[in-house]
């Protein structure tokens, strides 16, 4: 196959490209330039000049043709603007899912296919397994590194053109392999946080982007406990940084229970109020055939969160498609905007974007 | 492989490789007084004479540098500082907007850090400035002008500039002129004395010499302030121990260009004409940028815009077929920017992005042209498909 390997400049994508090449594919490396403000932004994330150079160096060591594709316009419109708009609307988005869905496996994939490539190879820790209905997406063997959650938005036509060579290995083994292959990125630290917020200060980024929007912090009875500078600085389940001054009457810690940008209100309360047993989502994305009847599965609501047993149901009506998930065990602090990813065993069934919880 | 990127760098000529290789076996600092130093100095000075002879300069006018970029920086910054030191009012630089980044970026730096102003000359659709516009730009306020800089020939679209006329126009006001002749040297009759220029940039590896060496030809009456301070080499204008092997290789290439240039350029121009004809035959709506008249164009340059394509898609697809060419535009971390040259010539951003430069040189052969003739039709068709897809996903 002709394979386009996305090289982020990190160790995982470099080893993935090397394995694709060793498997006999005709591999070309491409680094996705996602930010126009790349220069001097530090080494974190996936869009700095240093990362581009590391990606090029890895391609050179592997003797792969290497190009940089400028996806900054698409990334800004599809990922960054969406991220800001979601927070502004009081939701908590996951930009990595969004990037995989809209950038890597839509914009880049479309261009790759048009240029004659057969597949895109990335360094994600997930496995593709041939199943009766086509390729199935499964969790990685290394459960600590498993990234199937952020791929839960990929549909069959996208999975059919994907290559995830690292899903069967541990990060430790991949690092060792990188060193053995002479890849200088072998010891490079993992990227963390949101790549377009290189200093890691998401609240600061949002307040710079959205401007101040002060409002009250209230308890469940509506009693004003304090003020805040903008609802976008808060996410459901958050405990720290509330700056309420005096403790609750019962002395117990308080958590963010709800964020309402329209009224600019942040509601706080006790931990048990975060408990959620029912999650509803919109924009379902099925990794295989859509389930036609209620599905026993496990549901995961964070990239590295626990999956809990659940019953999921796909409904399509005049209001559009919805996914209803009843959790067998309560989860704490589920925010609108998060993705609920459904699994059967290790297989990813699909996902939806949470819009209601109860 | 069909190597059609000679404007980026061209293979070393056998003569240059031979003298440079021999010199790598020798020891000697050309500034030393002992026998080894004397031997090295003799090589350097003979090289200086060869370079001077090849480009119509006096040996004392040759300042060796570590390449074209350094020579451009020395001219652009050094002339500004020297002129301003002599007369603080002279802070205005008259420049063409189609210069290489080795000129543009030092100009921007002077504007940002040194209080310089730049008067940008207009260019026509072929990317050419006019001497009349130079006159007009200076005449607006002659006493404020530090100098004029206009390249000899453009690295992207190959347009040859009327540098002698520019020099004449500027000299009418007593204003000195620098020209970046990196692309012109070795293929056009670049004669420093006849051109009337005051400073001229040369690069070793563009004429079949080694990488990492170049020269600024600097008229005897022209003052520049040094960028590099140290041992006082090169008339105190450019300190640093001379790279004797590189200088010798550069001189050998200059010498070869003096003897072989006319025949070589004619042969290269013939191949270029065949390549242009083949591309236009395979892709009838391709547009040749720059001067269609061979007399106004670098002999090895063929530069096209392909509507509906991304230049880097074309590059990738041609590379996969063993054809090396260039989008001819500047890169920042490898991100293709729309060419400032094409934009200055009036192109819109989309067609500036869908452009490709094929550049031929001394080692080019008919097989290179045949490879492009075979590949360009299908490659453009495929890139157009990808271009449309990319636009739709935005």
**Which band of pLDDT confidence, cut at 50, 70 and 90, is reported for residue B23?**
very high
Are both A31 and A156 inside the same structural domain? yes
Residues of chain B in Cβ contact (below 8 Å) with chain A: 312-313, 315-317, 319-320, 331-336, 382-383, 385-386, 388-390, 392-394
Closest Cβ–Cβ partner in A31, A39, A65 for B320: A65
> Domain check: are A227 and A250 in the same one?
yes
CA pair distance A172, A15, nearest whole angstrom: 12
Q: Residue A37: what pLDDT?
A: 58
Residues A223 and A155 reside in one and the same domain: no
Same domain, A265 and A280: no
Please pick, among B27, B331, B365, B391, the residue that the annotation labels catalytic.
B331
Most A CBs within 10 Å, among B105, B378, B385, B393, to test the A interface: B393
**Shortest CB distance from B390 goes to which of A28, A72, A107?**
A107
Query: How far is Cα B206 from Cα B359, in angstroms, rounded to an integer?
Result: 11
Whether A201 is covered by a domain: the verdict is no
Same-domain pairing of B20 and B101:
yes
Burial classification of residue A144, based on how many CB atoms lie within 10 Å of its CB (0-12 exposed, 13-18 middle, 19 or more buried): exposed
State whether A263 and A286 are in the same domain.
no
Q: Which of B334, B390, B392 has the CB atom closest to A56's CB atom?
A: B334
The residue of chain B with its CA nearest to that of A106 is B393
CA of B380 to nearest chain A CA: how many angstroms apart? 10
CATH number, residue A290: 2.40.30.10
Find the domain containing B198 and state its range: 14-256
Q: Is residue A196 part of a domain?
A: no
Largest CA distance in chain B: 70
Please judge whether A77 and B394 are an interchain contact, meaning their C-beta atoms are less than 8 angstroms apart. Answer: yes
Contacts of A59 in chain B (CB under 8 A): none
The pLDDT value given to residue A59: 96
> Given a cut of 80, is residue B331 above it in pLDDT?
no
Structure tokens at B148: 């004029």
Same domain (yes/no): B249, B348: no
Closest Cα to residue B97, out of B290, B351, B343? Answer: B343
Domain boundary among B222, B256, B290: B256
Same domain, B289 and B148: no
Band the pLDDT of B123: cuts 50, 70, 90: very high
Which of the residues A79, A115, A118, A158 would you substitute to probe the B interface, choosing the one with the greatest number of B C-beta atoms within 10 Å?
Answer: A115
Strand partners, A297: A310
**Per-residue pLDDT for B350 more than 80?**
yes
What is the C-alpha separation between A78 and B235, in angstroms, rounded?
A: 58
- Tell me, yes or no, whether A68 and A150 share the same domain: yes
pLDDT of residue B79 exceeding 70: yes
Per-residue model confidence as pLDDT tens digits over B194-228: 999 999 999 999 999 999 999 999 999 999 999 99
Pull the structure tokens for residue A135. 């390729």
Choosing from A269, A290, A312, the residue where a domain stops is A269
Cα-based distances in Å from A268 to A88, A212, A261, A335, B301:
18, 20, 14, 14, 69
Residue A246 and residue A121 share a domain: no
Residue B307 shares a structural domain with residue B227:
no
Taking 50 as the threshold, does the pLDDT of residue B384 lie above it?
A: yes
What pLDDT does A39 receive? 43
What's the CATH number where B276 sits? 3.90.1150.10
Check whether residue B205 and residue B319 sit in a common domain.
Answer: no
Let me know whether B246 and B329 are in one domain: no
Nearest CA in chain A to B380: A115
Residues B95 and B227 in one domain: yes
Look at A69 and B312 and tell me if their CB atoms are within 8 Å: yes
- Whether A251 and A300 share a structural domain: no
CA A241 – CA A201 distance, rounded (Å): 13
Residues A152 and A287 placed together within one structural domain of the fold:
no
pLDDT at B393: 45
Q: Which residues of B336-352 are buried (b: 16+ CB within 10 A; e: fewer)?
A: bebbbbbbbbebeeebb
**Contacts across the A-B interface (CB distance below 8 Å):** 63
Domain assignment of residue A48, yes or no: yes
Confidence of residue B389 (pLDDT cuts 50, 70, 90): low
> Which residue of B313, B320, B353, B390 to mutate against A (max A Cβ within 10 Å)?
B390
Q: Which residues of A touch B335 (CB under 8 A)?
A: 33, 68, 70, 72
Alpha carbons A347 and A147: distance in angstroms, whole number: 12
- Establish how many alpha carbons lie within 13 A of residue B55's alpha carbon, considering only the half-sphere containing its beta carbon: 39
Do A151 and A278 lie in one domain? The reply is: no
Rounded to 5 degrees, what angle do the CA atoms A203, A334, A74 make? Answer: 55
Last residue of a domain, one of B256, B277, B303: B256
Nearest 5°: the CA angle A92, A94, A98 is: 130
Q: With helix as H, strand as E and coil as C, how does chain A read?
A: CEEEEECCCCHHHHHHHHHHHHCCCEEEEEEEECCCCCCCCCCCCCCCHHHHHHHHHHHHHHCCCEEEEECHHHHHHHHHHHHHHHHHCCCCCCHHHHHHHHHHHHHHHHHHHHCCCCEEECCCCEEEEEECCEEEEEECCCCCCCCHHHHCCCCHHHHCCEECCCCCCCHHHHHHHHHHCCCHHHHCCCCCCCCCCCCCCHHHHHHHHHCCCCEEEECCCCCEEEEECCHHHCCCCCCCCCCCCCCCCCCCCCEEEEEECCCCEEEEECHHHHEEEEEEEEEEEECCCCCCCCEEEEEECCCCCCEEEEEEEEEEECCEEEEEEEEEEEEECCCCCCEEEEEECCEEEEEEEEEEEC
Q: What is the CATH number of the domain that holds A128?
A: 3.40.50.620
Specify the pLDDT at position A45. Answer: 44
List CB contacts of B191: < 8 A, sequence separation 6 or more: B55, B56
Give strand pairing partners of B65.
B214
Q: Residue B330: pLDDT band by 50, 70, 90 thresholds?
A: low
Across all residues in chain B, what is the average pLDDT?
95
User: What phi and psi values does residue A121 have, to the nearest 5 degrees?
Assistant: -110, 130
Does B319 contact A65 at a Cβ distance shorter than 8 Å?
yes
Which of A225, A254, A269 terminates a domain? The answer is A269
Please tell me the distance from the alpha carbon of residue B366 to that of residue B346, in angstroms, as a whole number: 33
Domain final residue pick, B256, B285, B315: B256
Which helix H or strand E contains B22, and what residues bound it?
A: helix B14-24
Q: CATH code at A254?
A: 2.30.30.280
- Placement of tokens 């935005």 in the chain: B394
Nearest CA to A184 out of A56, A44, A63 is that of A56
Candidates A46, A47, A96, A99; catalytic one: A99
Q: Is residue A203 part of a domain?
A: no
The three-class DSSP label of residue B393 is helix
Which pLDDT does position A46 carry in this prediction? Answer: 46
Q: What is the number of domains present in chain A?
A: 3
Low-confidence ranges of chain A (pLDDT < 50): 38-46
Query: What is the pLDDT, as a whole number, of residue A298?
Result: 97
Host H or E run for residue B351 = helix B349-353
The CA angle B330-B333-B336, to the nearest 5 degrees, is 40
| SS3 state at B8 | coil
Q: Residue B391 pLDDT > 80, yes or no?
A: no
- Distance in Å, alpha carbon of B368 to nearest chain A alpha carbon: 20
Question: Quick one: B173 and B72 in the same domain?
Answer: yes
Query: What is the domain range of residue A148?
Result: 2-187
The reply to whether B250 and B268 lie within a common domain is no
Query: Does residue B70 surpass a pLDDT of 70?
Result: yes
Give the C-alpha separation, B252 to B210, whole Å.
Answer: 10
- On average, the pLDDT of chain A sits at 90
Beta-ladder partners of B177: B148
Report the gap between the CA of A61 and the closest CA in chain B (Å): 18
Mean pLDDT of B237-263: 97
User: Pick from B320, B335, B388: which is nearest to A68 by CB?
Assistant: B335
Both B187 and B88 in a single domain? Answer: yes
Provide, as residue numbers in chain B, all residues whose Cβ is less than 8 Å from the Cβ of A107. 390, 393-394
The beta strands (E) that lie in chain B are given as 2-3, 62-65, 92-95, 117-120, 145-149, 177-180, 199-203, 214-218, 287-288, 301-305, 323-324, 331-332, 335-336, 355-359
Q: What is the CATH number of the domain that holds B201?
A: 3.40.640.10
Q: Widest CA span of chain A, in angstroms? A: 67
Whether residue A204 is contained in a domain is answered as no
Q: A-chain residues within 8 Å CB-CB of B393?
A: 74, 106-107, 110-111
In a domain, A193, yes or no: no
In a domain, A202, yes or no: no
Helices H / strands E in chain B, number of each? 12, 14
Angle between helices B68-86 and B101-114 (to 10 degrees): 30
The pLDDT value given to residue A44: 41
- B19 lies in the same domain as B146: yes
CB contact under 8 A, A52 and B386: no
Query: A115 contacts in B (CB within 8 Å)?
Result: 313, 316-317, 382-383, 386
Output DSSP code: residue B94: E
Same domain, A66 and A138: yes
Q: How many CA atoms within 13 Å lie on the side-chain side of B334?
A: 27
pLDDT at site A36: 66
Say if the Cβ atoms of B317 and A39 lie within 8 Å. Answer: no
Q: Which residues of A touch B (CB under 8 A)?
A: 28, 31, 33, 38-39, 49, 52-53, 56, 65, 67-70, 72-74, 77, 106-107, 110-111, 113-116
Q: Which of A74, A106, A115 sits opposite B313 (nearest CB)?
A: A115
What pLDDT, on a 0 to 100 scale, did the predictor assign at position A43?
Answer: 37
Both B190 and B266 in a single domain? Answer: no
What gap in Å lies between CA A28 and CA B165, rounded to an integer?
48
- Total structural domains within chain B: 2
Strands A320-332, A307-317: parallel, antiparallel or unpaired by DSSP?
A: antiparallel
In the three-class reduction of DSSP (H, G, I as helix; E, B as strand; rest coil), residue B259 is classed as: helix
Minimum-distance CB partner of B333 among A28, A33, A65: A33
B325 assigned to active site: no
Instruction: List C-alpha distances in Å: B353 to A103, B102, B347.
Output: 21, 21, 10
Q: Are residues A17 and A141 in the same domain?
A: yes
CB-side exposure of A97: number of CA atoms within 13 Å?
A: 27
């Amino acid at each position: 196959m002709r394979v386009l390997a996305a090289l982020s400049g990190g160790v995982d994508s470099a080893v993935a490209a090397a394995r694709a090449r060793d498997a006999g594919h005709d591999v070309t490396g491409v680094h996705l330039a996602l930010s126009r403000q790349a220069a001097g932004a530090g080494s974190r994330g996936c869009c700095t000049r240093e990362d581009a150079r590391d990606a090029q160096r890895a391609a050179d060591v592997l003797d792969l043709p290497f190009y940089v594709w400028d996806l900054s316009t698409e990334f800004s419109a599809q990922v960054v603007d969406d991220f800001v708009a979601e927070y502004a609307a009081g939701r908590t988005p996951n930009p990595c899912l969004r990037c995989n869905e809209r950038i890597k496996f839509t914009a880049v994939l479309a261009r790759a296919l048009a240029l004659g490539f057969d597949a895109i190879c990335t360094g994600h820790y997930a496995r593709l397994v041939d199943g009766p209905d086509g390729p199935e997406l499964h969790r990685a063997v290394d459960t600590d590194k498993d990234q199937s959650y952020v791929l839960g938005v990929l549909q069959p036509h996208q999975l059919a053109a994907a290559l995830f060579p690292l899903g069967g290995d541990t990060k430790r083994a991949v690092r060792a392999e990188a060193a053995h292959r002479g890849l200088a990125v072998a010891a490079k630290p993992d990227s963390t946080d949101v790549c377009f917020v290189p200093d890691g200060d998401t609240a600061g980024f949002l307040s710079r982007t959205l401007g101040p929007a002060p409002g009250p912090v209230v308890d469940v009875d509506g009693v004003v406990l304090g003020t805040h500078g903008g609802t976008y600085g808060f996410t459901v389940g958050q405990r720290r940084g509330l700056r309420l001054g005096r403790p609750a009457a019962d002395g117990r810690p308080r958590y963010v229970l709800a964020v309402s940008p329209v009224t600019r209100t942040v509601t706080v309360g006790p931990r048990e109020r975060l408990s959620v047993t029912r999650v509803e989502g919109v924009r379902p994305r099925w990794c295989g055939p859509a389930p036609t009847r209620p599905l026993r599965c496990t549901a995961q609501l964070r990239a590295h969160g626990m999956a809990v047993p659940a019953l999921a149901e796909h409904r399509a009506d005049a209001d559009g498609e919805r996914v209803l998930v009843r959790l067998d065990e309560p989860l704490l602090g589920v925010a609108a905007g998060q993705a609920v990813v459904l699994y059967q065993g290790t297989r990813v069934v699909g996902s939806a974007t949470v819009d209601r919880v109860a | 492989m069909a190597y059609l990127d000679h404007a980026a760098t061209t293979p070393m000529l056998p003569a240059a490789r031979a003298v440079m290789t021999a010199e790598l076996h020798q020891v000697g600092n050309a500034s030393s007084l002992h026998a080894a130093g004397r031997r090295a100095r003799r090589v350097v000075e003979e090289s200086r004479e060869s370079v001077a002879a090849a480009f119509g300069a006096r040996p004392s006018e040759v300042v060796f540098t570590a390449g074209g970029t350094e020579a451009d920086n020395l001219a652009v910054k050094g002339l500004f500082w020297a002129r301003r030191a002599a007369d603080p009012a002279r802070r205005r630089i008259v420049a063409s907007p189609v210069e290489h980044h080795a000129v543009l970026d030092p100009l921007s730096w002077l504007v940002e850090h040194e209080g310089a102003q730049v008067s940008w000359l207009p260019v026509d659709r072929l990317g050419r400035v006019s001497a009349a516009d130079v006159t007009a730009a200076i005449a607006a306020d002659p006493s404020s002008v530090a100098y004029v800089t206009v390249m000899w020939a453009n690295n992207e679209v190959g347009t040859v500039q009327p540098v002698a006329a520019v020099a004449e126009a500027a000299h009418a006001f007593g204003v000195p002129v620098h020209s970046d002749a990196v692309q012109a040297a070795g293929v056009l009759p670049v004669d420093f004395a006849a051109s009337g220029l005051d400073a001229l940039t040369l690069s070793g590896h563009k004429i079949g010499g080694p990488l990492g060496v170049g020269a600024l030809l600097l008229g005897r009456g022209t003052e520049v302030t040094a960028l590099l301070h140290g041992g006082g080499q090169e008339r105190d204008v450019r300190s640093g121990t001379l790279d004797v092997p590189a200088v010798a290789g550069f001189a050998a290439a200059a010498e070869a260009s003096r003897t072989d240039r006319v025949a070589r350029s004619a042969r290269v121009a013939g191949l270029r004409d065949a390549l242009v004809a083949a591309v236009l035959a395979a892709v009838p709506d391709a547009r040749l940028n720059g001067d269609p008249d061979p007399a106004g164009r670098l002999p090895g340059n063929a530069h096209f815009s392909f509507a509906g394509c991304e230049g880097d898609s074309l590059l990738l697809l041609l590379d996969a077929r063993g054809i090396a060419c260039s989008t001819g535009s500047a890169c920042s971390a490898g991100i293709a920017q729309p060419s400032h040259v094409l934009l200055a010539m009036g192109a819109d951003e989309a067609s500036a992005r869908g452009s490709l430069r094929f550049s031929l040189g001394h080692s080019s052969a008919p097989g290179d042209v045949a490879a492009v003739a075979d590949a360009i039709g299908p490659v453009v068709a495929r890139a157009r498909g990808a271009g449309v897809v990319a636009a739709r996903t935005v």
